[in-house]
């Protein structure tokens, strides 16, 4: 029972910060002790008995008052003691200097004119010694608290739970990764050294840890065995990607945990959101992380009411996660899927309490519901992410694809014009470029309507002030139904991993990158723009499957197999290149390009949409697809029952 109480006390102090006013009290007591010690030294070496007990008492009171004022002035007590940084050290140093100057002034005016003054030389010496000892003791207190915290947080954690870890590299990022490990994750990971291929660092020490040099798999195996290595931490995705055929592969084969420290640049600049994590396949896709102009986005969204349709989906949900960290006034999430919306409500409810959040169940296909929603909330900006997106499903259900992707978009666009929305941003897809399936064609028709309406407004032929922007990008890693979660599930079950065709390639982007670029494009568009994103080099799905199998520590053909199942309806081997010199123009952002697309006549678009609406209302699949092909002549079906309509 007694041990349980002690463990609870240890656990409490290991998990909670010391109240700042307790820190102020401890610092003040430490400073007073420093002054009394210096006073005792002077008392010991002086021949005159001037330092009586009353002098000690008065000195303690005076030191306490001066120290309190110095600490309050410099706010040296506000930092978290166990996470003391150089900035806090400078504050402590400045506080010690302020205290020393104040003590010197008090002693100077008190003894001036007396027989003990003697030109004030001893007063200067007293003040300097007091400053040095005060600074030393304050630092020692923080070192002591840090060590006590480390002991407490490790108490009750068996050694076999703490993994011996190597940090990759020897540059500043590697040192920062070591500091991150020691400050926040020392209860789980114990650094035993750095690992590098650079022979110049061989047999050297860095931050008190040995630098290990490895040239090949044999060297690595020897090091892992001798130091009982359980994990390797990479300071960045780039570092991990550069080692995917060496260290990452070695670790996978020996079941060594591979970790990466994400970039510390986030929307809310919070280091605590960037916990070290296991490496993901998207970290190895061969492209550097995309950077955006966060200040421009924040300025654009300041005090805005923002609507996100499809707010509970993969793209819409990530947009909402990023938007709540912006200085917006209100965020309205719109989706007709109850359970995903409930999950988003649970996730976002406690985040960014200053941002008012509304979770609205509504279907974009219901024109009256969208009108009522816009009338109630009067939004300034709309991000339209609601859509059906799965190619094979939409190939079997073209009527539903048209009703949601085309006329759902039209409902939101028309409401945006009626309620004077400042900017409408549509989320589109690379599959809208020379579409070969129903889903891509439906998104292209939605693009055409958005583009044509925007042109009519900008030319003054249609009343309204809304500026329309369309964003196109390729496959999003980790989104619902995407290939990586499917492969992970198949690998976890022991396979086989199903790939449609060994030649199939796709362009990939992470969800966070895609949504960041959507926000960036929203600030750039002046109306009637279609922006395409530079997705980097295409990725062979077959290579992706092989990397994921290797990353799971399995051997292809021995532990697990790849099965080729053939292209699905509407699917093509090669997605169209989103960006080249012939079909795009550059913008101020090197990863965003303005598409050059054919313009349409508004009357013709309205006429064709009416034909499409009638076909869809009649629930006639062939008539619906034929109407889509009339609107988008470049729509040629591939591996689909609708190929016969192309003739």
Q: Which residues are catalytic?
A: 431
At 167, is the secondary structure helix, strand, or coil? strand
Q: How many CA atoms lie within 13 A of 204 on its CB side?
A: 13
Nearest Cα neighbor of 308 from 335, 286, 282 is 335
Q: How many CB atoms lie within 10 A of CB 533?
A: 25
Burial class (CB in 10 A: 0-12, 13-18, 19+), 197: middle
What are 119's two structure tokens?
A: 């030109």
Residue in the block written with tokens 């001036």: 112
Nearest Cα neighbor of 475 from 539, 402, 392, 518 is 539
| CA 568/CA 247 separation, integer angstroms | 36
Nearest Cα neighbor of 330 from 306, 298, 349, 359 is 306
Cβ-based neighbours of 494, under 8 Å, separated by 6 or more: 560
DSSP type of residue 351? S
The 3-class SS string of 554-566 reads CCECCCECEEECC
Cβ(139)–Cβ(91) below 8 Å:
no
Nearest Cα neighbor of 391 from 438, 323, 332, 457 is 438
CA distances from 226 to 167, 206, 243 (A): 16, 20, 22
Helix runs in 422-467, H state only: 438-458
| CA 370/CA 408 separation, integer angstroms | 10
Cβ(513)–Cβ(263) below 8 Å:
no
Cβ(556)–Cβ(543) below 8 Å:
no
Q: Does an H or E element contain 258, and which?
A: strand 257-260
Cβ(522)–Cβ(304) below 8 Å:
no
- Give residue 550's Cα distance to chain centre: 26
Residue in the block written with tokens 């409408």: 424
| CA 360/CA 344 separation, integer angstroms | 11
Angle at the Cα of 130 from the Cα atoms of 128 and 135, rounded to 5 degrees: 100
Strand-pair category, 423-429 with 381-384: parallel
Cβ(61)–Cβ(31) below 8 Å:
no
Respond yes or no on whether the N-terminal peptide bond of residue 496 is cis (omega within 30° of 0): yes
Burial class (CB in 10 A: 0-12, 13-18, 19+), 413: buried
């Amino acid at each position: 029972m007694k041990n349980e109480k002690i463990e609870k006390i240890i656990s409490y102090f290991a998990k909670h910060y010391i109240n700042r006013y307790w820190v102020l009290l401890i610092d003040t007591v430490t400073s007073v002790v420093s002054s009394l010690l210096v006073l005792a030294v002077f008392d010991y070496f002086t021949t005159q008995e001037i330092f009586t007990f009353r002098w000690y008492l008065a000195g303690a009171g005076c030191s306490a008052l001066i120290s309190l004022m110095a600490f309050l002035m410099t706010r040296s007590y506000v930092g978290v003691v166990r996470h003391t940084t150089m900035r806090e050290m400078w504050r402590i140093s400045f506080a010690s200097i302020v205290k020393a100057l104040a003590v010197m002034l008090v002693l100077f005016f008190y003894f001036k004119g007396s027989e003990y003054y003697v030109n004030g030389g001893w007063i200067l010496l007293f003040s300097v010694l007091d400053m040095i000892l005060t600074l030393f003791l304050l630092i020692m207190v923080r070192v002591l608290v840090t060590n006590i915290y480390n002991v407490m947080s490790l108490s009750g954690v068996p050694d076999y739970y703490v993994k011996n870890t190597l940090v990759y590299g020897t540059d500043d990022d590697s040192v920062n990764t070591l500091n991150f490990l020691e400050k926040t994750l020392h209860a789980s990971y114990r650094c035993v050294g750095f690992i590098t291929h650079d022979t110049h660092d061989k047999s050297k020490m860095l931050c008190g840890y040995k630098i290990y040099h490895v040239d090949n798999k044999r060297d690595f195996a020897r090091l892992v065995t001798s130091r009982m290595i359980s994990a390797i931490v990479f300071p960045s995705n780039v570092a991990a990607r550069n080692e995917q055929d060496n260290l990452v592969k070695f670790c996978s084969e020996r079941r060594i945990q591979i970790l990466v420290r994400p970039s510390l640049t986030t929307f809310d600049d919070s280091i605590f959101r960037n916990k070290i994590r296991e490496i993901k396949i998207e970290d190895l896709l061969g492209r550097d992380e995309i950077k955006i102009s966060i200040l421009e986005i924040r300025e654009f969204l300041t005090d805005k009411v923002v609507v996100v349709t499809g707010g509970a989906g993969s793209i819409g949900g990530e947009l909402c996660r990023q938007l709540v960290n912006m200085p917006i006034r209100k965020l309205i999430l719109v989706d007709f899927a109850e359970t995903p919306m409930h999950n988003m409500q649970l996730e976002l409810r406690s985040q960014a309490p200053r941002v008012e959040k509304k979770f609205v169940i509504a279907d974009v296909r219901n024109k009256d519901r969208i009108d009522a929603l816009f009338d109630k909330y009067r939004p300034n900006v709309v991000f339209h992410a609601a859509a059906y997106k799965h190619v094979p499903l939409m190939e079997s259900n073209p009527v539903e694809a048209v009703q949601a992707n085309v006329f759902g978009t039209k409902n939101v666009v028309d409401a945006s014009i009626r309620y004077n929305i400042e900017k409408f941003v549509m989320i589109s897809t690379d599959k809208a470029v020379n579409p070969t399936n129903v889903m891509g064609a439906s998104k292209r028709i939605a693009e055409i309507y958005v583009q044509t309406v925007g042109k009519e407004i900008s030319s003054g032929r249609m009343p309204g002030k809304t500026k329309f922007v369309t964003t196109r990008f390729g496959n999003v890693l980790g989104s619902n139904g995407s290939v990586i979660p499917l492969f992970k599930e198949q690998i976890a079950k022991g396979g086989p991993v199903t790939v449609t065709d060994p030649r199939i390639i796709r362009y990939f982007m992470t969800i966070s990158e895609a949504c960041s670029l959507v926000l960036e494009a929203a600030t750039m568009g002046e109306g009637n723009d279609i922006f395409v994103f530079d997705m980097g080099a295409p990725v062979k799905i077959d290579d992706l499957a092989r990397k994921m199998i290797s990353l799971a520590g399995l051997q292809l053909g021995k532990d697990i197999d790849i099965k080729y199942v053939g292209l699905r309806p509407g699917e093509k081997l090669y997605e169209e290149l989103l960006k080249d010199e012939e079909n795009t123009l550059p913008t101020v952002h090197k990863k965003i390009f303005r598409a050059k697309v054919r313009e349409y006549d508004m009357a013709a678009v309205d006429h064709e949409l009416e034909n499409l609406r009638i076909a869809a209302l009649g629930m006639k699949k062939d008539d619906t697809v034929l109407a889509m092909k009339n609107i988008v002549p470049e729509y040629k079906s591939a591996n689909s029952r609708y190929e016969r309509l192309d003739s």
